């Protein structure tokens, strides 16, 4: 039994197509703005699918209300699948006085859910903040499937060393080479960004990452790859948290931009539903 929250309604039809049993839920709002949910279901185990992109806080609170309603109905085991987890980048204190916001989110969700599945979480270590069992769901196979034929014998790159494991997973699905960009200071004011120990000339390149927002990094990376003689340049990112105008800017800078549907965007051409179905 799957319950789909407001943040994941765009995935509902596809979940049904995969044969998932999707339970009835009523979601509305009181005149003062408070969320109202009703989940008139019976059972002992359920999986709630709720993405928490903008409005993040409303989607988070909704997940709690759904959890409370299911516990009230006597459900004993609740799983939560979060295609996009809000606050996942606020994962450390960089300036004194900051919270570890993703910790607050994890603890809160842990009040109602026994297991948590997050698609491509920014920092997998933060899953430890969840009191129950928590898992990262990699979209590597879906991204590989989407770009495989276009990439051919190309190269998969991550924009920095921290994201290298994402590039590796996609490359391993396709049996191609992979590497990452690195930043090198070439003068007191200039930083150069280049792919490490790999020759991109004459090759197609797929740059993968977990989140794209302004797209600045991707645009810079594409410029460098063009200079180095790369053929086609593709960008395949999990979460399209696009800033105003970013979809157009990145699309113009590369041969193709595609993100997954953890957040619905005009370029959410890759579905993570197969991955979600796999973990249910």
CA angle 57, 61, 63 (to 5 degrees): 120
For a second copy, the binding residue among 13, 34, 45, 76 (CB under 8 A) is 34
Q: Which span (28-36, 120-128, 199-207, 222-230) binds a second copy, by CB under 8 A?
A: 28-36
For a second copy, the binding residue among 64, 198, 224, 228 (CB under 8 A) is 64
Nearer to a second copy, 78 or 176 (CB): 78
Residue 38 interacts with a second copy (CB under 8 A)? yes
Residue 183 is among the residues annotated as catalytic for this protein: yes
d(CA 142, CA 138): 9
Residue 116 interacts with a second copy (CB under 8 A)? no
Residue from 54, 125, 161, 183 carrying the catalytic annotation: 183
Q: Residue 253's CB: how many other CB atoms inside 10 A?
A: 18
For a second copy, the binding residue among 13, 16, 17, 26 (CB under 8 A) is 26
216: annotated binding-site residue? yes
Residues in the chain: 280
For a second copy, the binding residue among 82, 86, 225, 235 (CB under 8 A) is 86
Residue 103 interacts with a second copy (CB under 8 A)? yes
d(CA 7, CA 61): 11
For a second copy, the binding residue among 13, 43, 45, 57 (CB under 8 A) is 57
For a second copy, the binding residue among 68, 91, 160, 177 (CB under 8 A) is 68
89: annotated binding-site residue? yes
238: annotated binding-site residue? no
32: annotated binding-site residue? yes
Nearer to a second copy, 204 or 262 (CB): 262
d(CA 224, CA 228): 6
Q: Which residues are known catalytic residues?
A: 183
Q: Using CB under 8 A as the criterion, which residues of the chain lie in contact with a second copy when the complex forms? A: 26, 31-41, 53-58, 60-61, 64-69, 72-73, 86-87, 89-90, 93, 95-101, 103-104, 107-108, 111-112, 213-214, 241, 243
- Binding site for D-ribose 5-phosphate, by residue number, is 185, 209, 213-217
């Amino acid at each position: 039994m799957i319950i789909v929250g407001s943040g994941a309604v765009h995935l509902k039809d596809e979940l049904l197509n995969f044969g998932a049993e999707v339970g009835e839920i009523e979601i509305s709002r009181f005149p003062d703005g408070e969320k109202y949910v009703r989940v008139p279901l019976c059972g002992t185990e359920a999986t709630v699918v709720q993405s928490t992109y903008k409005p993040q806080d409303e989607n988070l609170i909704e997940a709690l209300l759904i959890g409370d309603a299911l516990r009230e109905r006597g459900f004993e085991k609740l799983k939560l699948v979060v295609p996009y987890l809000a606050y996942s980048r606020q994962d450390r204190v960089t300036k004194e006085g900051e919270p570890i916001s993703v910790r607050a989110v994890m603890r809160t969700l842990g009040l109602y859910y026994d297991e948590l599945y997050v698609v491509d979480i920014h920092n997998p270590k933060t899953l430890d903040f969840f009191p129950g069992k928590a898992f990262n769901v990699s979209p590597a196979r879906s991204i590989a499937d989407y770009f495989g034929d276009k990439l051919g014998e190309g190269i998969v790159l991550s924009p920095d060393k921290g994201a290298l494991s994402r590039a590796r997973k996609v490359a391993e699905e396709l049996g191609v080479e992979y590497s990452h960009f690195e930043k090198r200071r070439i003068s007191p004011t200039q930083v150069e960004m280049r792919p490490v120990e790999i020759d991109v000339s004459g090759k197609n390149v797929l740059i993968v990452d977990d989140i794209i927002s302004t797209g600045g990094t991707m645009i810079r990376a594409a410029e460098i790859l063009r200079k180095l003689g790369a053929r086609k340049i593709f960008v395949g990112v999990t979460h399209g948290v696009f800033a105003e105008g970013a979809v157009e800017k990145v699309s113009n800078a590369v041969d193709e931009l595609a993100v997954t549907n953890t957040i619905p965007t005009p370029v959410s051409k890759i579905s993570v539903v197969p991955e979600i179905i796999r973990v249910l």
